[in-house]
Amino acid sequence: MRVYYDEEGDFLEISIGKPAKSYAEEVKPGVFIRFDEKTKEVKSVGIFSFKKRAKELKDIKLNLPIEVSFSTLKPLQKAF
């Protein structure tokens, strides 16, 4: 997962997986979801006027159409 924010353009994008040829659909004004052309899987969610949409960061809720499991992650080993 990659999170990109352009402060000057006030644009937030959250990408999932490796880049692929995709197309976007506007699901709400200024909110876009990009889909992989071949698999139709969600590749990213983009939000224009991000700061205007949230008064405080704690108010932001993104319901992404994916499931994330952290149960299989292992802690990083320290290189000491």
Q: Is residue 18 part of a domain?
A: yes
Report residue 56 as tokens. Answer: 């405080």
67 is a domain residue: no
User: For position 6, what pLDDT does the model report?
Assistant: 92
Residue 79 within any structural domain of the chain? no
What letter does residue 58 receive in the DSSP assignment? G
For residue 20, give its domain range: 2-59
80 in any annotated domain? no
Q: How many structural domains compose the chain? A: 1
Has residue 42 been placed in a domain?
yes
* Rg, the chain, Cα only: 15
Beta bridge partners of 44: 15, 34
Enumerate the H helices of the chain as residue ranges: 50-53
Q: What is the pLDDT of residue 69?
A: 59
pLDDT at 51: 85
Would you say residue 71 lies in a domain? no
In the chain (80 residues long), the average pLDDT of successive 10-residue segments reads 91 91 92 93 91 66 60 56
